[in-house]
Chain A
Amino acid sequence: MFQHDRLNNEITLFQKIKNLDYILLISVILLSIISVFVMYSTDGGEILFHTKNHLVKLAVFFPLMIIVAFFNIKFWHNFSYIIYLLVIVLLIYVSFFGIKASGSQRWMDVYFFVLQPSELMKIAIIMCLAKYYHRLKIENVNSFTSITIVLAVILIPTIFVISQPDLGTSILIALSGLIILWLGGVKIKYFIYSFITFLISLPFVISFLKPYQKLRILTFLDPDRDPLGAGYQIIQSKIAIGSGGLDGKGFLKGTQSYLDFLPEKHTDFIFTLFSEEFGFIGSVGLLILYSIIIFRIIRIGSISRSNFARLFCFGYAFAIFIYIVVNLSMVLGLLPIVGSPLPIMSYGGSSMLATMIGFGVVLSAKINHKQMIA
């Protein structure tokens, strides 16, 4: 108990800086640098709109990550529910007053940039559920009430995001929530039952999908069905990656990209461009960098005293993993095109904001890893 009291004392700024996880930090910096170069390549070897904006966002959000890290993990624990509710409010706001673009309504203008609240929900749901399971007694994990509450917490934002419509992000939110459910100790058989139920209900789910979403799934099953239409993205992406070969075509030499064959190269297909220019070696290198980040987050989780920090880190590590897997599987033609960015690499403010906040909380957990939360 004595120990606890001592640790409850405030840590000095110097100690905080000292306690930052430098492997994670360096990996994130490295990833940021790579992302700037790749963005420079999508602009055709010039510093144009995308590169400039990406740099500005990095310059704003990276310090933000450090600021988040300097708040005590207890602070984040205390505000988790409020943050979750705040994002729910934002989701409700955009569903009424959001900016419409290319057929969906998921953005809001916050003066200096356009915010996509569904991206923030990816982090908020992890925080919220981490806190819930942190506080929940182990005996009650499989109780009807707790499971109902948790499912409601997951379903509410998911339904809002689906109705925007944004299938990709909603799946990612749901998966981020479910992983906490899993880590929290919900019985494995429940997962199996619900998975079977999901499979059975899949045809009904599909009937609720928008035509363009159905088309994406059909196209995924057979990209050559309509090579100039819906299958175009998958085919061109595979051509770009495949033609990269072992060591790639070289920086700024990706023909698929600079001759405009590659769609959405700044955002969802950024890996395609990277892989075309840097080849198999570069791609595996990037995956290793991501793996280091994920591993570091898990490691921070496992040294954390509090289960909130532990759950958050494990959950967030899984979330990052799932973002990468969904994005890569999509560009590699293993999954239908659902529209999900690659963390840090893809152009897009909200995604980067959410990712950086996530890293910030993880770093805060590291700084305060001995912190107990009652």
Chain B
Amino acid sequence: MIKSNSGIRKTDVINRRMFIIGAAKAVVFVGIIARLFSLQINENTKYLTLSDKNRIREWKLPPTRGNIVDYFGNVIAGNLKVYQLHIIPEQVENFNYLLVRLKNLLNLSDKKIAKINKLKAELKPWDSIIVSENLSWSQFVKINNYLYDLVGVKPVMTISRNYPFKDIYTHVLGYVSQPNEKEILDSQIIQERFVPGMKIGKVGLEKRLENYLIGTNAIQRYEVNAYGKRINQLEHQKGEQGSKIRLTVDTEIQKACGELLNEKAGSISVMDIYTGDIIAMYSSPSYDPNLFLFGISQDEWQLIRNNPLKPLINKTLSGLYSPGSTIKPIVALSALENNVIDTKFKVKCTGKMELYGQTFHCWKEKGHGWVSLRNAMKQSCDTYFYEVARLLGVDRLNITAEKFGLGKKVLGEYFDNEKKGLFPNTKWKKNNLGRGWVLGETLITGIGQGYIQSTPLQLCIMTAQIANGGYAIKPKIIVNSNPISYEDAKQSMESGLLFDSNSDALLDKKLFKNKKNIKIVQEAMFASTNERFGTSYKSRIDDPKYQFAGKTGTAQVKRISKRERELDLELEQIPYKDRDHALYVAYGPYINPRYALSIIVEHGGSGSKAAAPIAKKLFKLIIDRHELRNKQSNFERITI
């Protein structure tokens, strides 16, 4: 019984201890359920997010750039569908066989094949290799026909920048290409939206307006496994195309500029004298920006780079030229404004002028005889302007010239390659060259030679501001959110106030002291083009609808030696590099003027022979387009 008794006691102990354990078990299970509750119910959202983060990968696609259109809405920088060929290595059954097939179909070079093999080794097997960025339609069709035999090949349609007018707008628009490391790091926006294959603006407006044009990435979401392999496509989030930018330029006129400067080096700028709209801005020669889209070939690049006419330079903004006689309207105006001369003031031209033993020649060896302002301007008498400049002094001339737009950037904020040019004065020389100003330098400044340097666009705005009656205008190339119509601009100017389209403010921007003086200069320019013996008389148009006033200029590239002066060589006999630059500035129509232009033909010879005839051809078109331009009143509001 002791044993049995012990057995019962033992059973009691076991049962009691089991009860304690049982209670502990219940507590632990409740604890585990609490933990489950906290993870699955309380923190469910957090873990769902983490789970999605695990399984969902986003692939950004290149954003679609905004279009750039001309004033009439024609697309001048757009987007084109391009056909590409991708290989997905993991789907390929026999890689070498595939490469041989593709090589035959697309005429791929051995170098390209080596590159593909290299890419294949570097990339993950499910990452696609881009074999060709831009297949022609016939190649694309060919590939599609043989697709059954090309396992692992994917023909892809994507979007690429396209410049339909090719070389016409190159210097205005610039071009896009693959960004380099620095460009990606420098711009927050590019950094955020960068994807391989994306193109960004490299120069011109494409670069300046990058942040507006770039657009947002389309996003493709895929479900991936733990190793990063794509399993399913989940959704597609559409990207937003970049902003549309409307320019003030007129493609017809721009095209005409291109034709007129064909095979010449030079520049043409056309500007609305009231609104400051740039109608055309062409630098010659140009090049096709489409070449840069898929990587320019070495040969093509060398051809552009080594062209002696320097197509890479935007001559309108970066080309620095002596204005030559085209400066004379400003010299005359400055002298009139400072009461140095009046319309009756006369100088006797003998063909040269002596000053401190130095001889200053007039272009006409025999001299012009007694000339007044009007005649001097008409025949571009150098002696007269030597004398006026001597009386005026360079510092007073500098003030007027800078007021009218010389020596400072015209479109500075838009183009980082724009040059300031130079209009010298005594202080400038002292500070920069460390020597005192010499009177002889004043004389040659008076005929636009010497230190003075200007860009073609500066000459254009100078002319425009004389043409509009002497009011400051703010040139622009982009139609902004507050476009001003030509009539409003003209009216506000004539009422003495200028409507600044950028700041909504009405500003007084009179550039003259006496309105009469502007008129005198305008009339002198009219005479130069439309009266006998005028330097550009041959290029005149008699129809008052198209009649224009202008001033020729011939800028020496090198000092003419005495011997050369005696030889009086024909243009063809002088080496190209030594020929004078031909310049012409003009505005028209003479009654109710609307547009100003500047033309420069590098090494073209004299302004009257090489530059003024271009103006004649161009003005007809410009005036004819005016009606259309005026009708184009549906201003699109684009915020820049």
Contacts and interface: CB of A to CB of B under 8 A. Distances in A.
A binds B: yes
Interface of A: 133, 137-139, 179, 182-185, 236, 238-246, 255-256, 259-261, 275, 279-280, 283-284, 287, 291, 294, 298, 301-302, 307, 310-311, 314, 318, 321, 325, 328-329, 332, 334
Contact of B47 (A243, A291, A294): A243
A156 to B, nearest CB: 25
Nearest to B231: A259
Interface of B: 6-7, 9-11, 13-15, 17-18, 21-22, 25, 28-29, 32-33, 35-37, 39-41, 43-44, 46-48, 50-51, 54-55, 223-227, 231
A245 B227 contact: no
A257 to B, nearest CB: 10
A302 B15 contact: yes
Q: Which 5 A-B pairs have the closest CB atoms?
A: A242-B47, A243-B51, A260-B226, A259-B225, A280-B40
Contacts of B55: 255-256, 259, 261
Contacts of B10: 133, 138, 185, 307
A284 B32 CA distance: 9
Contact of A243 (B13, B14, B29, B44): B44
Contacts of B36: 241, 275, 280, 283-284, 332
Given A246-B44, A334-B35, A139 B21 contact: no
A279 B14 CA distance: 38
Contact of B25 (A239, A283, A284, A321): A321
B225 A301 contact: no
Given A138-B9, A240-B51, A259-B54, A185 B14 contact: yes
A88 to B, nearest CB: 26
A266 to B, nearest CB: 15
Contacts of B11: 307, 310
A41 B54 CA distance: 19
A314 B40 contact: no
Contacts of A137: 6
A185 B6 CA distance: 12
B18 A245 contact: no
A24 B10 CA distance: 27
Contacts of A284: 33, 36
A298 B11 CA distance: 14
B14 A311 contact: yes
Contacts of B224: 259
Contact of A184 (B14, B15, B21, B22): B14
Nearest to A302: B15
20 contacts: A138-B6, A183-B18, A185-B17, A242-B43, A242-B47, A246-B44, A255-B54, A256-B51, A256-B54, A259-B223, A260-B227, A283-B36, A284-B33, A291-B29, A307-B7, A307-B11, A310-B11, A325-B32, A332-B32, A332-B35
Given A138-B9, A287-B32, A239 B223 contact: no
B44 A307 contact: no
A298 B40 CA distance: 31
B14 A261 contact: no
A244 B17 contact: no
Contacts of A302: 15, 18
A283 B38 CA distance: 13
A329 B10 CA distance: 33
B226 A261 contact: yes
Nearest to B43: A242
A138 B9 CA distance: 8
A318 B43 CA distance: 31
A243 B18 contact: no
Given A183-B17, A245-B44, A314-B18, 18 more contacts: A179-B21, A184-B14, A239-B47, A239-B51, A240-B47, A242-B47, A245-B40, A246-B41, A246-B44, A259-B54, A275-B36, A284-B33, A291-B29, A310-B11, A311-B14, A314-B14, A325-B29, A328-B32
A238 B38 CA distance: 11
Nearest to A374: B3
Contact of A246 (B9, B33, B40, B54): B40
Nearest to A260: B226
A332 B39 contact: yes
B26 to A, nearest CB: 9
Of residues A243, A245, A284, A321, which shows the largest number of chain B Cβ atoms within 10 Å of its Cβ? A243
A184 B35 CA distance: 33
A241 B22 contact: no
Contacts of A314: 14, 18, 21
Contacts of B39: 238, 241-242, 332
Contacts of A329: 32
Of residues B13, B37, B51, B227, which shows the largest number of chain A Cβ atoms within 10 Å of its Cβ? B51
Given A239-B47, A242-B50, A255 B9 contact: no
B40 A275 contact: yes
A22 B56 CA distance: 47
A301 B15 CA distance: 9
B50 A318 contact: no
A318 B18 CA distance: 9
Contacts of B14: 183-185, 307, 310-311, 314
B355 to A, nearest CB: 85
Contacts of B6: 137-139
Nearest to A247: B40
Contacts of A244: 40, 44
A332 B11 CA distance: 37
A245 B35 contact: no
Nearest to B37: A280
Nearest to B36: A283
Contacts of A328: 32
B18 A239 contact: no
Contacts of B41: 245-246, 280
Contact of B223 (A240, A241, A255, A310): A255
A325 B21 CA distance: 14
Contacts of B51: 239-240, 242-243, 255-256
B16 to A, nearest CB: 9
A250 to B, nearest CB: 14
A295 to B, nearest CB: 9
A152 B386 CA distance: 123
A88 B28 CA distance: 32
A298 B18 contact: yes
Nearest to B17: A183
B199 to A, nearest CB: 35
A373 B225 CA distance: 58
A245 B7 CA distance: 50
A242 B25 contact: no
Contact of A261 (B18, B33, B54): B54
B385 to A, nearest CB: 80
B594 to A, nearest CB: 68
B457 to A, nearest CB: 59
A256 B53 CA distance: 11
